[in-house]
């Protein structure tokens, strides 16, 4: 058999080993996210509620603005700011993506159309199996950072 045939065989074996390794890593990643993803979402939901309370406690004039946080089932929370411009933020746990999705709806200004925007924070794990969220390459290791990212668009509106 020629050397070139041996190299083809070695390349095919290496590709098969790399594919198997990628599949094992993906399965491991999925298991870590499945085991910890909802817990991280629940921790985020609690942090959002605490941050809203802190907003009322520390921001002058905040009591003139009604901001509500309502659970919708186990996997979704809705934050509503009722003063103009009104903002609704739906934050949901999406195990199939896997991600935490945020959908904003904001009242139109000066009679225009409602403004809609969406964020998808993807679950990731680092090399030590620590779960974190990422958005456009930015990594969020603490739920407080995610709460700030999400609530800033509600509270500053």
Integer Cα distance of 41 and 71 in angstroms:
12
pLDDT (0 to 100) of residue 156: 81
> Mean of the pLDDT values across residues 72-90?
90
Percent of the chain exceeding pLDDT 70 equals: 96
Q: Where are the alpha helices (DSSP H) in the chain?
A: 3-58, 143-155
pLDDT (0 to 100) of residue 113: 67
Confidence of residue 112 (pLDDT cuts 50, 70, 90): low
In this prediction the pTM is 0.82
Integer Cα distance of 61 and 74 in angstroms:
32
Integer Cα distance of 37 and 41 in angstroms:
6
1 pLDDT exceeds 70?
no
In order of their start, the domains of the chain are 37-155 (3.30.920)
Calculate the CA dihedral of residues 155, 73, 131, 47 and round it to 10 degrees: 40
pLDDT (0 to 100) of residue 91: 96
């Amino acid at each position: 058999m020629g050397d070139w045939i041996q190299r083809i065989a070695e390349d095919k074996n290496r590709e098969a080993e790399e594919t198997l390794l990628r599949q094992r890593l993906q399965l491991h990643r999925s298991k870590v996210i499945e085991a910890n993803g909802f817990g991280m979402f629940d921790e985020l939901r609690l942090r959002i509620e605490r941050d809203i309370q802190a907003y009322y406690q520390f921001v002058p004039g905040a009591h003139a603005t009604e901001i509500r946080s309502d659970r919708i089932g186990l996997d979704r929370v809705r934050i509503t700011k009722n003063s103009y411009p009104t903002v609704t933020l739906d934050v949901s746990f999406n195990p199939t993506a896997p991600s935490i999705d945020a959908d904003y709806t904001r009242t139109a200004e000066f009679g225009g159309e409602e403004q809609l925007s969406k964020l998808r924070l993807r679950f990731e794990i680092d090399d030590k199996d620590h779960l974190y969220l990422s958005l456009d390459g930015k990594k969020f290791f603490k739920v407080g950072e995610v709460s700030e990212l999400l609530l800033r668009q509600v509270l500053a509106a």
